[in-house]
Amino acid sequence: MPAGEPWVAIQRNPKSGSGGARRELLDLVLNLRRLGLRPRIFTRRERLAAALANPARRKSLHCIVSAGGDGTFRDLINRYPGVRLALFPLGTENLVARFLKIPKHGSQVAELIAANYVTRFDLGLIGDHRFAVMASAGFDADVMHRAHARRTGHISRWSYLQPIADSLRRYAYPEIRVFVNETQVAATCRLAVLVNFPAYALGLNMADGATGDDGLFDVRLLERGTAFQMWRYFFNLVCGRLERLPDVKSVTARRVRWESDVPVPIQVDGDPAGWTPAEFSILPGAVEIIVPRP
């Protein structure tokens, strides 16, 4: 690749996508070349790191394409803070890509990358780990922990059926204490959710007011904890009424802390992220993403 020529790094998750997705990936590569951008696909993370360790190549980089699901995107925002990113959705849920209305066709994603319309978005931080969409502690995090413990390859929505059934039978719903903005005690609850982008599995919206670029988490605290209440909350979420329930508390915050008397599972962006206690903060405008023009 000639020095200084604009190029695009494509970080591909080998566990994401099917045969059709691989054809779309080839279409992305061909159309990037047509549009004057040199693509290079990386399946191994260390090879991308080695390529970007070269200052000249780093300077001529147009963007990194996250070719996978939300886990691939989260990996990139942690490994390469400050680098412009694009999305090519190949995962199961693709929450970030769906919220940003990123197409799944390689030719259309190539056109977006060439147009280079960039918007800055907030990120969340747990410890020293960045995330994009949401974090939760409680029942749905227990499901995620169980699903990923069983994972052997590409994960689909069907992969969650047995973990959901196991969590409904076995999860104990311990109390979670939630502190917002360092001093104010918001409430106790049985399921705590932090939202940055207002996207959730199955295309559902956990927080109507969340925008991803306002410098705030939208916090949802679900106060009751039984299998029946989880079904009730889910039904109201599907119907768009969750935030109107009297036992669901809604606040906004820049910093949040979760505590509990026993460890409660946590997930961020659909992947396990340890156990309580945990602290979160918002990083305003921390990532540049290539998006469709409004």
Cα separation of 256 and 277, whole Å? 11
For the CA atoms of 133, 139, 141, 146, the dihedral, rounded to the nearest 10 degrees, stands at: -140
Question: Please, which pLDDT band fits residue 223 given cuts at 50, 70 and 90?
Answer: very high
Residues 162 and 271 in one domain: yes
Q: Is the pLDDT of residue 2 over 90?
A: no
Q: Work out the average pLDDT over 17-25.
A: 72
Structure tokens at 270: 């659909």
What is the pairing mode between strands 176-180 and 184-189? Answer: antiparallel
Task: Check which CATH number belongs to the domain holding 109 and give it.
Answer: 3.40.50.10330
The pair phi, psi for residue 146, each rounded to 5°, is: -65, -40
Q: Is the pLDDT of residue 143 over 80?
A: yes
257 within 8 A of 176, measured Cβ to Cβ: no
Residues 158 and 180 in one domain: yes
* Terminal CA-CA length for the chain: 34
What pLDDT is attached to residue 269?
86
What percentage of the chain reaches a pLDDT higher than 70? 91
Per the structure, the count of domains in the chain is 2
Q: Is the pLDDT of residue 27 over 60?
A: yes
What pLDDT is attached to residue 17?
53
- How far is CA 235 from each of CA 231, 232, 239, 279, rounded to the nearest angstrom? 6, 5, 6, 29
Decide which of 88, 116, 144 is a domain's last residue.
116
Least confident span in 93-97, 193-197, 216-220, 229-233: 93-97
The pair phi, psi for residue 187, each rounded to 5°, is: 180, 175
Residues 192 and 276 in one domain: yes
Question: Please, which pLDDT band fits residue 284 given cuts at 50, 70 and 90?
Answer: very high
Residues 46 and 137 in one domain: no
Question: What three-state secondary structure class fits 175?
Answer: coil
Task: Check which CATH number belongs to the domain holding 142 and give it.
Answer: 2.60.200.40
Residues 154 and 17 in one domain: no
pLDDT in tens, 201-212: 667 788 888 899
Least confident span in 77-86, 106-115, 124-133, 145-154: 145-154
pLDDT in tens, 154-178: 566 667 688 889 899 999 999 999 9
**Structural domain of 206:** 129-283
Residues 42 and 187 in one domain: no
